[in-house]
Every structure is written in structure tokens, then in C-alpha cells.
Amino acid sequence: MWIKRHKKLRNAGVLGLNERNVSYISRYNKRENFPLVDNKLKTKKAALAVNLPVPELLGVISSPQQLKTLPTLLKDRQSFVIKPARGSGGKGILVISRREGEQFFKPSGALLTTNAIRHYVSNILSGVYSLGGKPDVALIETLVRGDQLLDKYSHEGLPDIRIIVFQGFPIMAMLRCPTSNSDGKANLHQGAVGVGLDITRGTALKAVQHDKVISHHPDTGIKFADLAIPNWRKLLQLAGHCHDFTELGYLGCDIVLDKNRGPLILEVNARPGLFIQIASGVGLRSRLQNIENLMQKDWHVDSRIDYAMTHFSSNTKAN
Amino acid sequence: MSSRAQVYLLALVFISAGIGLTLYKNLALNFPLSPGSLTRVWDVEAKVTFWATQQPIIVDLALPQSQDAYQVLDETFASSGYGFDIRNGDEQRRATWTRRNAGGQQTLYYKLKIARQGTSPTPSAPPTADQTPDKLIWTPAQESTAATLIAQARTLSANPSSFATQLLKLLKQHESIKSSHSLNDPRKRISQANLALQLLSRAEVASHIVRGISLADRVHNQTATELVEIYDDKNWYIIDPVKASFGLPKDFFIWQRGGDSLLQLEGGRRSKIRFSFIANDLPSKNIALMHAEEPNSALIDFNIYSLPVEKQAVFKLLLLVPIGALVVVLFRVLIGIRTSGTFMPVLIAMAFMQTTLLTGVGLLTALVIVGLWIRSYLSQLDLLMVSRIAAVLIVVVMLMAVFSVISHKLGLEQMLNMTFFPMVILAWTIERLSITWEEDGAREVAVQGLGSLTVAIVAYLAMTNPLVGHLTYNFPELLLAVLGLILLLGQYSGYRLNEFFRFQSAVE
């Protein structure tokens, strides 16, 4: 039975965690490039330096003394997001979507006072959400208002698009839709829906929640099969640029669609997960090897995207 | 050279060096690969008590020596407030405790570790003049009784040994009848062995007293047993004066052979000596090395055995850590079990080694659950993280104290070892699990908690395996092989076991 399963996974070209770590992350991602993507503040600055769109930064709180400036920073903000610079896997993100004077509301309707927010920020500073408990800084950003087209595929939170980029070529993508189960977070562990996307068109391949295939969003009841991401080529270009400014060979780029500003780079991940294979129903290995076997180096972003769009569509199977 | 080739080369070198050295030690130096036969080791404790009378005190105790059937491995003396010295006489070793002034009940301890060994009788020296005991002054009636007994025994026997046996039998019969002309003085009771000695010296048979103890597991407050040893021009024979039987009783450890009394006391009254025993079964190899005089090889000399005994015990534990690490690597790389904190399970497994498995698992679960509950309350108090973790730490320590006291009252002594739980790590684990709970849900906490526990239990089972313990302790070079294996696993790029299930839906 084990041999049969092993064979099946091998033939489907499914990439395992060990192989991802040994053959891709440690081989194509240089250690010195990790700090840039592990710190969201650095990522944001680097992206801005090459004119890539990111959510607007309202302020940074980097020491307990600066906590005093928090009320001034939030002075007339009706909505904002607070996140730790070093939070891994979307940990420690606080979204405030509405405000009435000194009362702040999360998208779920939960109420927070200024003091509670101050405490939350001080927790971030002491490193509760960072790997190994290292001291951290807190970023305050504008709240991204989701594109209406995608709004119906999510409950409370904002859906984001994860694109795996290998040596600058976007090779696989998925949409992560928050559900009531996942508490408005695009966290697949907690029950967000992963929707595999066709890399050529940005249309849905299949949708998976908790490792099970589903056809409709559990909260909104909208069918995933009709889903198509607007401006798909623009998204792939952003993802391709991520490779250029981070210098990572194997990365996951998280993009959100803003109602007004269009696609924005949320963060870059040097160790992207493998759930994307389940959501897409395709293994990563054949695509990775396809890129590895290319003779020509130093492609322009547009030609890389053309290549990906022509080569990584046929072997996806529609569901 | 590519990094992959380097890893393979290093792993090959480490593994072959580790296994090669092990085989060399096994084949050339005769270190057994398996724990092998066990030898019974006794922990004997002699407790000397007396009543001090505010005078200078001298306590003089005969000490045992290695003998035919037993080997003395280690001895310790506990005597706070006393000066202490060991005198090595021609025949005997004696310990002397001295003190200028003391009053009230006094207790002195002498502990030794002895192991049974093969009996290879050592030729013992013929008796010397000073070994004959002083003759007691007997009444004329007693003297004539003694003469009668000796004459009777002489007619009933053929040689010194049979004479001694017969004499002891007659003495026993005589003393059992409570007659007025008993050889024993009613006011000053003399032991059967001493009476026998008096008779034997009157019959001019060389003899002395042998004092010793009958070893039995978990026996307390035993008194010393006295036997009589006689010399028949060639050999010494031991006779039990009460049973009048030949030879050493079973499991008998000779404490003192000939000489003065076992215990002498000046400056006190009511002196008593009592013995307690505990038996352990230890691998023969360890005992042989404990007593090895000179290591015959650089490999042994440059080894853990050359360290002091208590440091060896620490290393015995430390050498098991790589085995725990190997278990963690296997579980994470080959199986894909998620744990909370990478090597936390190894620390937990080491704690289990002190508490035993079931108590350990129970305690750990209780500590973590109570800790998580308290942490969930603390999170409402808006504390800074460092204070919060410190608070959890203090609560963990207090819980341990409470559990310890309760378990002690209930008589569950192994629970007292819970102080071996890594408290700081536990507090961090509780903090980490509680954040995981908030961010990823209770299911993830259960997965990680059970994962950690499973790995810890397997690591515990591997680390307590007698064969594993024997191999890591006696063949530390095997750690090189473990290192090589771990390097190889670091290059493993195949699927993890759980991925067969996880990616099932991706391929269907």
C-alpha cells in the first residue's frame, strides 16, 4: 500500500517538505536574503524602492517609548491594520475596520479600547509573535479594502493570492479565502478555503477546505468555478518582480487586490507551504524541473511570464 | 566538491569510524556489545548509635575488606562533627571517629558497596600467638564443666575440625539446659561464639571469631552474626556455633575476621551497630571497570571510566541525548510529526527517566493543562510578555511543589523527581501553545501537544533501553555513527509518511 501511494505521488510530481527544503529552499535561497523577507518592514521598503505597490505604511512603533505616539498615529484613522514585522505565517495581525471615538472594532464586531490596542502593540514589541521570541517592531498600515469581485468569496476578511515564483517564473497560484471557520483570516490551517488558480488565466481549478474538495464557499454560498481574478497578468508581473528585488530563487508572493489601487504586494515568503499542490491538484516538481532545465538565463519579467503562461497550462487538469 | 558529496563523505567517515572503533573495542579489548550478565551489588549501611556522656569520644569500628566471595567497590563515611581516620593494621582495617565533647544520642554511618564475585579461595595465614583470645576467669565449677565437655568431645572426634563440631554440639546441649553450673555468667552474658572460643582455647585448638552479616534485600536493623573459625594445622574452617554446622552460610559477608571486638567505644554508653541492605543488579562490565586498577589501553584510559564516579553518572545521561535527538530527527523528517519546540521532547524524555513513564506523562499533562488555563486568565490581564511568562513559570514551580507534597503524603515517592522537568522550557511551551491556540485553534494545540508527547515517549523508550544505554556508555564512539546518520537524514528528500495522506487529494 505504501509503495503504491509513494508511486502515485511520485508520478503526480508532488513535492514533499523534505525535498522542498533540501533541493529548493536551501539550494536556491541564500541565507543572506532571508532577513529582507522575514521582516515585513524591510520587504515593504525594498518593494517601494523599485516602485512596486504595497499597502500604505502609516507608522512604525519600534520601542515601548514610542507607544505614547500611538494615539497621534491613529488620530483620525477610521480603519487600519497592526502587524508584527517578523510575524510568521500571518501570526499576530490585528485588523480594525471601524471606529467610534475611542472604541475600535474588529471586522467580527469585537470591541477594543485604546488601552487594549496599546497592550497588543507592546506584546508585538516583546516578540510574542516572532520566531524564537525575538524583540520585534509593529507596523501600522492602511486597511486594504477588497475588490468587490473577490468580496463574495470571503467571509469578513480579505482574500489573498499566493503565487509560487521559481527563479522569477510564476509557476503556481492559489487564492486563499477566509471563512467564518478561520475567523476572517486567510489561514488554511484554521479552515480558510484554498482555491487553485490556472496560471494562464487566473481562473479557479478546484477549491479545498481542510484537505477536502468543495464547490461553494461555506459561508457565502458562491460557486468557486466561476471565479476569475481580474488583471491576472499584472499579478504575475508583481510576483515576477518579487524575485528580482528579493533575489530569492524559490519564493511565495502574497498579493491582495485593493478596490482602488489594484494588486498590492502584502508579503514575500522564503519558505512557502505546499498546500498549493492540494488546491491546484497538481504537483510542483515537473514545473520546477522545467525551469531548472532552461538553458537561457537572465530573462526579462515579461518573457518569463509569457513562458509560464504558455507552458504551465496544458498539464493542469480542470476539475 | 558539492555540498551533497561532502555530506556523503563526512557521513561515510563518521559512520565507519564509529562502527570501526566499536568493533575494535569489542574484538580486541573484549568489551561486550550486550549488557551481558548482571551482578548483584549490595549497598550496605552500618549505623553506629550510642549515648554520649559529655566526655572525649573515641569510636573504633572494624572495617571489612574484599574477600573470596565479595569485592568492596566503594565506601563512604558520614559523621558530621567527628574527626575521622582509617588505620590499616596488619590484618585489619579500622575506622576511628573522634570528638572532644558531645552529649546525647549520636549516630555515625558507614556505607559500602559490595559485589559478589567468583570464589577463588585465598590461602590464609596460619594463626599467630596474639590471635588467641584472653582467657576468661571462670569459677572452679565452670572450669571442671569445661574440662568435662572437652574430654567428651575429644573421645567423640578424630581431628581438630570434628573435635570442634562435637564440642560445639555438646556446648549447645549443655547451655540449653538452664543449669546452675552454666558456663555463661548470668550477669555478663557472653555470646555462644565467645563461649565456644573459650572452650577451644582451653582445648588448645587455634580459633577466632568471624563477624559478618547475612545479606538480604531491603532488610533493616540487622545485627552482626558471629561465627567461629578454627585451624586444623592446614586450613581454616568456619563453624556456626549455634547450629554447629560447617562452612559459610549462604549470602554471608564477612565483616571482620579475628581481632578485637567489632565496635569499641570510649566516652559513651549503650553502643549499638545495626546493618541495612539494598540489592541492585548491575552489568558485570561496569563493576569490573569500577574496580579496574590500571587501564590497559589508551582507548579505555582516555575514556569516561577515567572520570570520577558521580561525573560518570552525568555522562551516562548526556550520552543518551544524541539518541533522543536522533529520534526527534527521525520523527520529523521521516514521519512528519509536528512538535512544539524542536528538541523539547528530548528534555521531556530525560525528565521521564527520573519520574518513570506513567507518572511523568500524567504530571506533564496536568502541568500543561493547568498552565494553559492560568495563561488564558493571565492574557486577560494585559501583562507584558516577559512578566506573563515569568508568572507562568512561578505557577509551574508552585504546582510542582504542591504536587510533590501531596504525592509525598500519599507515599508516591517517584513523583518527587518531578523537579527534573525543565521548568523554563515548560513555561515557554505553555506560552507557545497558548498562542498557537489563539492563532491556529485548539486542534493545532492538540496535534502539537500529542506530537510532542509521542516523540518524548518514543525517545524515553529508546533512551531507557538497556542495550542502548550499554552501547552509548561503553562505546561513546558510536555517537559518530549517530552523527553520520543524522547528516544523511539531513539530505533526505523523500516524502514524509504523513504526506502520503496529506497529498492524497492532490493526486486523485
ipTM of the shown complex: 0.79
Length of chain A: 319
Residue in B with minimal Cα distance to A8: B507
Rounded CA separation B255/B61 (Å): 10
Question: What number of other Cβ atoms are within 10 A of residue B317's Cβ?
Answer: 15
Residue in B with minimal Cα distance to A275: B503
Continuous H helices in B356-418: 357-378, 385-410
Question: What number of other Cβ atoms are within 10 A of residue A191's Cβ?
Answer: 18
- State whether residue B177 sits within 8 Å of chain A by CB: no
- State whether residue B85 sits within 8 Å of chain A by CB: no
Give the three-state DSSP class for B353.
Answer: helix
Residues A183 and A93 placed together within one structural domain of the fold: no
Asked whether residue A280 is domain-assigned, the answer is yes
Secondary structure (DSSP) of B138-154 = --HHHHHHHHHHHHHHH
Q: Of B203, B255, B257, which is closest to residue B229 (Cα–Cα)?
A: B257
Asked whether residue A9 is domain-assigned, the answer is no
Provide the number of structural domains found in chain A. 2
The pLDDT, as a whole number, for residue A184 is: 73
Rounded CA separation B152/B480 (Å): 76
Q: Please name the fold of domain B37-132+213-222+251-296.
A: Immunoglobulin-like (2.60.40)
Range of the structural domain that residue A65 is part of: 57-141
**What is the pTM for the complete model shown?**
0.67
Asked whether residue A1 is domain-assigned, the answer is no
Chain A residues in contact with B384 by the CB 8 A cut-off are: 122-123, 126
Q: Of B359, B354, B350, which is closest to residue B425 (Cα–Cα)?
A: B350
> A163 vs A89, A199, A268, B184, CA distance in Å?
15, 9, 10, 104
> B40 vs B7, B255, B471, CA distance in Å?
46, 18, 21
Residues A101 and A170 placed together within one structural domain of the fold: no
- In the predicted structure, residue B293 carries a pLDDT above the cut 50: no
Residues A250 and A111 placed together within one structural domain of the fold: no
The pLDDT, as a whole number, for residue B284 is: 65
- Residues whose CB falls within 8 Å of the CB of residue B197, separated by 6 or more in sequence, listed in order: B133, B207, B208, B209, B228
- State whether residue A67 sits within 8 Å of chain B by CB: no
The pLDDT, as a whole number, for residue B507 is: 72
**Which of A141, A169, A189 represents a domain boundary (last residue)?**
A141
Rounded CA separation B489/B484 (Å): 9
Rounded CA separation A108/A93 (Å): 14
User: Which residue would you say has higher pLDDT here, A32 or B216?
Assistant: A32
Q: Verify whether the Cβ–Cβ distance B435 to A19 is below 8 Å.
A: no
What mean pLDDT comes out for the span B138-162?
78
Q: Which residues pair with A258 in a beta bridge?
A: A146, A262
The pLDDT, as a whole number, for residue B483 is: 94
The pLDDT, as a whole number, for residue A140 is: 92
Boundaries of every domain in chain B: 37-132+213-222+251-296, 134-212+223-250, 311-475
Residues A262 and A184 placed together within one structural domain of the fold: yes
Q: Where is B194: in which H helix or E strand?
A: helix B192-202
Asked whether residue A224 is domain-assigned, the answer is yes
Residue in A with minimal Cα distance to B431: A128
Closest in B490, B491, B506 to A278, CB measured: B506
pLDDT-derived band of residue B296, with 50, 70 and 90 as boundaries? low
CATH number of the domain encompassing residue A63: 3.30.1490
What mean pLDDT comes out for the span B353-361?
83
What would the pLDDT profile of A115-127 be if each residue is shown by its tens digit?
888 888 988 888 8
Asked whether residue A32 is domain-assigned, the answer is yes
What mean pLDDT comes out for the span B138-166?
78
**Which of A141, A160, A189 represents a domain boundary (last residue)?**
A141
- In the predicted structure, residue B122 carries a pLDDT above the cut 60: no
Residues A95 and A173 placed together within one structural domain of the fold: no
Question: What angle is formed at CA B458 by the lines to CA B457 and CA B462, rounded to 5 degrees?
Answer: 115
User: Are the C-beta atoms of B62 and B120 separated by less than 8 Å?
Assistant: no
Would you tell me which residues 379-398 of chain B have a C-beta closer than 8 angstroms to some C-beta of chain A? 382, 384-386
Residues A84 and A21 placed together within one structural domain of the fold: no
C-alpha count within 13 angstroms, C-beta hemisphere, residue B481: 14
Among A37-46, A150-159, B1-10, B300-309, the range scoring the smallest mean pLDDT is: B300-309
What mean pLDDT comes out for the span B462-489?
89
User: Which residue would you say has higher pLDDT here, B343 or A190?
Assistant: B343
Residues A213 and A77 placed together within one structural domain of the fold: no
Chain B residues in contact with A210 by the CB 8 A cut-off are: none
Would you tell me which residues 419-438 of chain B have a C-beta closer than 8 angstroms to some C-beta of chain A? 428, 431, 435
Asked whether residue A135 is domain-assigned, the answer is yes
Q: Nearest CA of chain B to the CA of A49: how many Å?
A: 32
Q: Verify whether the Cβ–Cβ distance B493 to A213 is below 8 Å.
A: no
Would you tell me which residues 109-128 of chain B have a C-beta closer than 8 angstroms to some C-beta of chain A? none
Chains A and B: how many Cβ contacts under 8 Å? 90
Residues A199 and A305 placed together within one structural domain of the fold: yes
Tell me the backbone φ, ψ of residue B354, rounded to 5 degrees.
-90, -30
Cell digits for B175? Answer: 547451655
Q: Nearest CA of chain A to the CA of B494: how many Å?
A: 6
**Which of A141, A162, A191 represents a domain boundary (last residue)?**
A141
Would you tell me which residues 74-93 of chain A have a C-beta closer than 8 angstroms to some C-beta of chain B? 91-92
Q: Verify whether the Cβ–Cβ distance A9 to B500 is below 8 Å.
A: yes
Give the three-state DSSP class for B503.
Answer: coil
Chain B residues in contact with A2 by the CB 8 A cut-off are: 500
What mean pLDDT comes out for the span B467-492?
89
Closest in A18, A116, A122 to B494, CB measured: A18
Indicate the average pLDDT of chain A: 86
- Report CA A76 to chain centroid distance, whole Å: 28
What would the pLDDT profile of B4-38 be if each residue is shown by its tens digit?
889 899 999 999 999 998 888 777 776 777 776 66
- State whether residue A278 sits within 8 Å of chain B by CB: yes
What mean pLDDT comes out for the span A209-224?
85
Asked whether residue A5 is domain-assigned, the answer is no
